[in-house]
Structure 1
Amino acid sequence: MIDVLFSAGGARWPAYAEALPAAFAAKGLKVRLHRDHDRPEAVDYLVHAPNGSVEDFSPFVNAKAVLNLWAGVEKLVGNPTLTQPLTRMVDAGLQEGMVEWVTGHVLRHHLGMDRWITDQRPLWEPVIPPLARNRRVTVLGLGALGAACAQALAALNFRVTGWSRRPKEVPGVACLSGADGLEAALVQAEICVLLLPQTPATEALLNADTLALMPRGAFLLNPGRGPLVDDDALLAALDSGRIAHATLDVFRVEPLPADHPFWAHPRVTVTPHIASETRPETASEVIAENIRRGEAGEPFLYLVDRNAGY
C-alpha cells in the first residue's frame, strides 16, 4: 500500500479527493490518500502546493518525491528542508487553458477590439482589419506552456518568434536564445507574451532598457510571473506610448493592492490570476503517472532542476 499525503490546502481537497483515487485506480495503484498524517516517516509521496499545510519537509524521511500541483516552483526550490525529488505540474488542462487565454488576448489586441467594445457610438468609417500574417508576436519562454502558445499563434498565421535562455526548437516558430537573441526577439515584438519561470535570472527581465527595444505601440501580455516585469518601468513605457497596452494576469503582490497604479491606468487590463489553473482531473492523471513511475523505479516526469530553478 502506498501512502500519499495531500498537502495542497483544504480548499482543493474536495475536488482532488474524488479525482486522485480515480486516477490511482486507472493506473492500478493501491493508495491510501491522507489529508493529515501523524507518522510523516510513513509517507511515500506528498501532493503539494506552496500554500498547503507543509513547510518543513524534513520529517518525511522516506518520501520518494514531492509532487507539486503548480507549474511554478519558485516558492519551493529554495526550501532547505525539501531534499526529496521535486516535480512541477505540466498537464493538458493547464496547457489548454493558457493557450486559450493567450490566444484570446493576442487576438483582442491584434484586432483592436477594445475600441469597438468601449465606444458604443462608432463612426461608420471603412476599416480594413489587419491580418495575422502581418503581425509579429514574440513569446518569451518556450517551456511546455510557452511552446504550446507559440504554436497555437503560429497556426493562426501570426509571425511568431520564441525566446528562451537555452536553445530550443519549436516547429513553426523562429527560436532565439541568449542575450543577443533576447534583443532580436524584442525589437520585433509588436505583441509580447511573457511565459518564463520566475528565477533570479528572469527577475525584472522586462525593464526600462528591454522595454525600450520593443516597437513603439507594442502590446504586452503577462500570464507568467509578476516579478518578470519592472512595474515602474512598465508604467513609464505606458505613459510614453512605447507600450500601447498591458494585459496583466500576475503581479509581484497578489491580490494586487487596491492602491496600485495598474488599477487606474487607462492602458492596463488587470485579470486576477485566471490565465490558467490546474484542473483536478488532468492534474491527478499526471500525479498518478509519477507515482507509478516512482514505484517502478522509472524517472519522474517534469523533475525540477534545482540549479536552474524550474
Structure 2
Amino acid sequence: MRAHNGDKAINLLFNVTPALFEDYREPILDALRRRSIDARASLLGDIAHQDVDYIVHATGGPITDFAPFSNARAVLSLWAGVEKIVGNATLPQPLCRMVDDGLRQGMVEWVVGHALRAHLGMDRYVCQKPLTWEQHVPPLATERSVTVLGLGELGSAAATALAQLGFRVTGWSRSPREVAGARCLAGSESLPKALASAEILIGLLPQTPETIDLLNAERLALLPRGSFIINAGRGTLIDDDALIAALDSGRVAQATLDVFRTEPVPSGHPFWSHPGVTISPHVAAATRVGTAAEKIAENVARSESGAPLMNLVDRTLSY
C-alpha cells in the first residue's frame, strides 16, 4: 500500500462536526485504500498542525484559522457551496468544492420535480381542499418557457434535463456557456432578456458579491405575470421583501425555496405563512456520503501523483 513520505500515512484533518466525522471517516478512508493510499483521519486536537496533509471541510467545523496548517496541500470541501470559506484571509491552501454525480443527480431530480409541479399545476388538486370538479389542462412543455440562472455543473445538468422534456429553456450565466437544447445568454446586459421569458425561473447561482439581491424588485418586475420561481442556489439571490411583494401583486404566482438567508428560516418569517411560498429545508442537492467520499479520495490521489486538483475554486470568482 502506497503511503505519503515513504512509510508515513497521509493525515486527513476533518474540519467538520462530530456527526459528519462519523459519517465520512470510514467511507473516505475505504475509498483511499481502494486507491492503494494509506491514510489516517483526525479531528482538531488529535494531530499536530504541521502533520496535516489535507483538510476535509464542511460548514460548522471548529477551524476558522487555516494558517497554522502550513503543510496541508489542499482544503477539500464536502459541499458545493464555498461562500462561507472562500473569503477567509487565513486560507493559503488550494480550496476544492464538491462536484459529484450524486449531488448533480439529486439537484436535477429536485429541480425537474418542482418545475413539473409548477408546470402541471399540481398544487391545484393536491393542496386545495375541498375541490370542485374543475378541469385544468396545462400547456405542453413545448409551450412553456423556463429560465435557468446559473450554468455551472448543476445548472447545466438541470437545463439539459428540462430541455430533454421539451421545455423552451433559456440559460443565463456570468460568462458564455453552451448547453445542448438551450438558448444561452451571458452577462449582465442580457439578464433582462432572460427574465422576460421566464414563465418558470430557476435559481442555481452561487453566492458572490454580484449575485446578492440579483433578483430585486426591479428585476422581479421583468418576469411574465403569474410566473413561478424555484430557488435552490443561494438564499441571498432574492430580496425577500421584494419577493413577498411580487407574490402579493400576482407578478409571481408561487415560489418554491430550498435556500434562505438564515437557515433554519426564523419562526416569524413571512415565508412560513405565505400561501404562495413552499419551504424546502435545504435538501435539493444533499451531498451523498458514498459518491462524495469517492471524490475526496480521487482528489487526494491526484494530488499525491502530481496531477491537478479537480474542482479548484477560483478565489476571484468565489466558486
TM-score (norm 2): 0.95
Contact 1:8 1:69 in 2 (8 A): no
> Where does residue 139 of structure 1 map in the other structure?
148
> Where does residue 9 of structure 1 map in the other structure?
17
Contact 1:137 1:159 in 2 (8 A): yes
3-state SS of the aligned residue for 2:161? helix
3-state SS of the aligned residue for 2:271? helix
3-state SS of the aligned residue for 2:102? helix
User: For residues 119 and 236 of structure 1, what CA distance do their matches in structure 2 show?
Assistant: 23
Kindly report structure 1 stretches of 4+ aligned residues shifted beyond 4 Å. Answer: none
1:28 is displaced (CA, Å) by 1.6
Does 2:215 correspond to 1:206? Answer: yes
Deviates more, 1:175-184 or 1:195-204: 175-184
Opposite residue 166 of structure 2, the aligned amino acid is N
> Where does residue 97 of structure 1 map in the other structure?
106
Deviates more, 1:142-151 or 1:112-121: 112-121
Deviates more, 1:50-59 or 1:205-214: 50-59
Deviates more, 1:21-30 or 1:236-245: 21-30
Match of 1:31 among 39, 61, 70: 39
Percent identical across equivalent pairs? 58
Does 2:161 correspond to 1:152? Answer: yes
3-state SS of the aligned residue for 2:272? helix
3-state SS of the aligned residue for 2:263? coil
Contact 1:49 1:68 in 2 (8 A): yes
Gapped regions of structure 1 (runs ≥ 5): none
Q: CA RMSD in A?
A: 1.1
1:15 is displaced (CA, Å) by 1.8
**CA deviation profile, 1:62-97 (whole Å, cap 9, x unmatched):** 000000111011111111111100000001111111
Relative to structure 1, the CA distance from residue 240 to residue 252 in structure 2 (aligned partners, 3 Å threshold; closer, same or farther) is: same
Contact 2:119 2:138 in 1 (8 A): no
**CA deviation profile, 1:29-51 (whole Å, cap 9, x unmatched):** 11112223330111000000121
Gapped regions of structure 2 (runs ≥ 5): 1-8
How many residues align structurally?
Answer: 310
Deviates more, 1:95-104 or 1:28-37: 28-37
> Where does residue 80 of structure 1 map in the other structure?
89
**CA deviation profile, 1:162-183 (whole Å, cap 9, x unmatched):** 0000011111111100122211
Does 2:302 correspond to 1:309? Answer: no
Opposite residue 14 of structure 2, the aligned amino acid is F
TM-score (norm 1): 0.97
> Where does residue 130 of structure 1 map in the other structure?
139
Match of 1:167 among 166, 176, 183: 176
1:121 is displaced (CA, Å) by 4.1
3-state SS of the aligned residue for 1:213? coil
**CA deviation profile, 1:90-145 (whole Å, cap 9, x unmatched):** 01111111111111100001000101012344333444332111110000000001
Does 2:302 correspond to 1:289? Answer: no
